[in-house]
Amino acid sequence: MLSVNSLNEIQQMILVIIGVLVFASTLFWIMRKIKPGPQVDELVLRTKSWWIMAGIFITAALVHPGISFVAFGFLSFAALRELSSISKNARIEDRSVIFWAYLAIPVQYYIAYMGWFAPFLIFIPVFMFTWIPFLLVLKGHTQDIARSMSVIPTHLMLTVFSISHLAYLLSLPELPGFEVGGRGLLLYVVFLTEMNDVFQFTWGKLLGRRKIIEKISPNKTWEGSIGGGVLAIGIAIVCGMFFTDLPLWKWASIGLIISVFGSMGDLAESLFKRSMNVKDSGKIMPGHGGILDRFDGLLIASPFVFAFLLITKDSLNLLIHKLYPW
């Protein structure tokens, strides 16, 4: 249950997020009227998707955690289904094994909901990575079995294990110096990831010259990535100054992690789509692509933010004081 102080701080964070979105939407609408073009249209489209994501995660931060965990579970289900549907690596013989992959979703999220930290970290990377190859061997279809052994567990890692880190943040308690607890941290990570996305896109269009990997993502430039990363770190520091007592270097580090690994998630998803010859990963959000298109940065960034909080010992003591509840 949230205290009055933590609820007020979360409400303030939500107002900041909504204020930024209103400002961006108004600015891009004016730009579209003054000087229409494909780049401005892309910014408008991205802003609409940010509104959708903001609505999802703000709701997750406000409602009962049980409801939020169920919603995150459905999000992982949709992402796994989307990834499996566009992948050309699955065999017909693997369908029953893929069913076990879907069964892992409620188990992983129940573990996260209960706050069982050790099982949360090992269930998919250890147990499912062993169990799925075992099932494939039992099926007895040897042709291309090595590919299936790698593809199915990897899909689980990208769509279930990674997203479940966002859900696990909701189980973190309110603690001195970080009264908003995991709910506030969830909003921080999502907000900074989206800000990093818009900053990198904008800087890339304004100043971008040198392509990072043109064959994978022609719009990704070093100037955009560096400029966007610097601004994302600045936003992280400002947020840390107003909403927490955690050292500012940690928020700067979180901003840097989100900038680097959020970009890696974007590049990885672009590479996968190009290898499958598809433009969008899905059509769940008309005009905005699929789940993976909208959450690609979070898929890679959120586990690394989580790991950073564990590696820095005082953050560990501050944010997660019950790693082993039993």
Q: What is the pLDDT of residue 79?
A: 87
CA–CA separation, 110 vs 277, rounded Å?
Answer: 36
Does the residue 216 lie in any domain? yes
Top pLDDT among 162 and 267 is at 162
Going from the C-alpha of 264 to that of each of 45, 154, 270, the distances in angstroms are 21, 16, 10
Question: What would the mean pLDDT of 158-182 be, rounded to a whole number?
Answer: 76
Does the residue 269 lie in any domain? yes
Closest by CA to 227, choosing from 242, 210, 245, 207, is: 207
Contact by Cβ (8 Å): 218, 211: yes
Does the residue 155 lie in any domain? yes
Contact by Cβ (8 Å): 128, 104: yes
Helix ranges (DSSP H) in the chain: 4-34, 38-62, 65-86, 95-114, 117-122, 129-139, 145-156, 162-169, 181-207, 222-243, 248-276, 291-311, 313-319
State percent of the chain over pLDDT 70: 84
Does the residue 160 lie in any domain? yes
Helix axes 145-156, 129-139, angle to 10 degrees: 150
Question: What would the mean pLDDT of 243-258 be, rounded to a whole number?
Answer: 82
- Cα torsion 272, 275, 279, 281 to 10°: value is -40
Does the residue 238 lie in any domain? yes
Q: What is the pLDDT of residue 323?
A: 45
Question: What would the mean pLDDT of 221-235 be, rounded to a whole number?
Answer: 85
Top pLDDT among 187 and 146 is at 187
Task: Look up the domain containing 106 and give its range.
Answer: 4-319
Could you say which DSSP state residue 173 is in? P
CA–CA separation, 1 vs 4, rounded Å?
Answer: 10
Residue 175 β-bridge partners: 178
C-alpha 97: how far from its chain's center? 26
What's the chain's average pLDDT?
79
Q: What is the pLDDT of residue 18?
A: 87
State percent of the chain over pLDDT 90: 12
Global model pTM greater than 0.85: no
Q: What is the pLDDT of residue 89?
A: 59
Domain count, the chain: 1
Most confident range, picked from 95-99, 179-183, 257-261, 296-300 = 257-261
Q: What is the pLDDT of residue 6?
A: 54
Q: Give the CA angle between residues 58, 62, 63 to the nearest 5°.
A: 120
pLDDT class of 309 with cuts at 50, 70, 90: confident
Does the residue 326 lie in any domain? no
Does the residue 325 lie in any domain? no
CA–CA separation, 249 vs 262, rounded Å?
Answer: 19
Residue 1 has pLDDT above 50, yes or no: no
Residue 163, token pair as written in the block:
């997203």
CA–CA separation, 130 vs 115, rounded Å?
Answer: 23
Does the residue 313 lie in any domain? yes
Q: Give the CA angle between residues 31, 32, 36 to the nearest 5°.
A: 115
pLDDT class of 245 with cuts at 50, 70, 90: low
**Intra-chain end-to-end CA distance of the chain, in Å:** 22
Top pLDDT among 18 and 94 is at 18
Q: What is the pLDDT of residue 178?
A: 55
In one-letter notation, the amino acid at residue 232 is A
Residue 255, token pair as written in the block:
């901003």
